[in-house]
Amino acid sequence: MLILCTNDDGYMAPGLGVLVEAAQGLGEVHVVAPDREQSATSHSLTMHVPLRARNVRDGWHSVTGTPTDCVMLGTQAILPRRPDVVLSGVNHGMNMGEDVLYSGTVSAAMEATIFGIPAVAVSYAGRDDVHMASYAGLLARLLPQLVQRNDYPPETLLNINLPAIPASEVKGVRVTRLGRRVFTDSLTQGKDPSGKPYYWIGGGNIEWGLDEGTDYHAVAEGYVSVTPLHLDLTNHALLRDVASWELSA
């Protein structure tokens, strides 16, 4: 297999090294990753300036763009052929619930899914990386079970979250749905030294629902969470109801 690895933390991030180590058993691994931090870039493409790719070492390229850019360049220009699998991560921080709408890690996997390539996004749900390296072996065992299948679902990516505990203490794997979270005080306002106002997005407090069956509940209980995400965002259950509104132009 030909595997493309990418992330949103930049090509020098330790989590990417963990993912590459875990992917070695799958086949030939290539890295195409951003040249700097690109967290929370979602599915953005760089369209108004040219992109540049640099060969940083054998099989590794850094790109002056977003994770989505990296997948596009990797699949269409840099790799010797179309990859069989795209792996994104290991992200430094969780990507659960509504996080998947903002995450560059998940969006890289989603871009591969749009191209019809099986893809997996992997995130570590801790604020520090103290246990991240211990997951190389676990991922080396788990990833083949996900991507070396004849029945890999179309238009679907798999979103993995690893609990912030040593891999040796993980209780198992749970297939989950997305959880829900609420941000409070996530916007900071202030004034710069010249007295002009500024706004800073980030921080604040997060409250998660602990509903059983969700990604957050599984990770909080010490399990690896695997959530299938579909490209089709249509609320099919409401199609008939909305049609009954008899909308007119």
Backbone phi, psi, residue 75, to 5°: -80, -30
With beta carbons less than 8 A apart as the criterion, state whether 34 and 56 touch: no
Closest CA to 100 of 122, 130, 72, 74: 122
Is pLDDT of 182 > 90? no
Q: To 5 degrees, how large is the angle CA 51–CA 59–CA 21?
A: 120
Give the pLDDT confidence score for residue 80 in this predicted structure: 96
Is pLDDT of 189 > 70? yes
Give the pLDDT confidence score for residue 170 in this predicted structure: 98
**Spatial distance between the Cα atoms of 105 and 89, rounded to a whole number of angstroms:** 6
Q: Which residues pair with 85 in a beta bridge?
A: 3
Calculate the alpha carbon distances from 102 to 18, 40, 107, 236 in Å: 23, 5, 8, 23
Give the pLDDT confidence score for residue 127 in this predicted structure: 81
Give the pLDDT confidence score for residue 201 in this predicted structure: 84
- The string of DSSP codes covering 20-56 is HHHHGGGSEEEEEEESS--TT-TT----SS---EEEE
Task: Please state the rounded mean pLDDT for residues 75-96.
Answer: 97
Sorted by where each begins, the domain ranges of the chain are: 2-179+211-243
Higher-scoring residue by pLDDT: 203, 3:
3
Q: Which residues contact 204 (CB under 8 A, 6 or more apart)?
A: 183, 184, 185, 186, 187
Reduce the DSSP state of residue 211 to 3 states and report it: coil
With beta carbons less than 8 A apart as the criterion, state whether 131 and 167 touch: yes
**Spatial distance between the Cα atoms of 82 and 115, rounded to a whole number of angstroms:** 10
Give the pLDDT confidence score for residue 21 in this predicted structure: 98
Q: What is the pLDDT of residues 91-118, one digit of tens each?
A: 999 999 999 999 999 999 999 999 999 9
Higher-scoring residue by pLDDT: 128, 116:
116
Q: Where are the beta strands (DSSP E) in the chain?
A: 2-6, 28-34, 53-57, 60-63, 85-92, 119-124, 156-162, 173-175, 181-184, 187-191, 197-201, 205-208, 224-230
The band of 183, judged by pLDDT with boundaries at 50, 70 and 90, is low
CA–centroid distance for 5 within its chain: 11
What is the average pLDDT value for the chain, to the nearest integer?
94
Calculate the alpha carbon distances from 246 to 89, 231, 243 in Å: 45, 27, 6
Instruction: Select the CATH number that applies to the domain covering 2-179+211-243 from these four: 2.30.42.10, 3.40.50.300, 3.40.50.2300, 3.40.1210.10.
Output: 3.40.1210.10
Q: What is the pLDDT of residues 30-45, one digit of tens each?
A: 999 999 999 989 999 9
Give the pLDDT confidence score for residue 209 in this predicted structure: 79
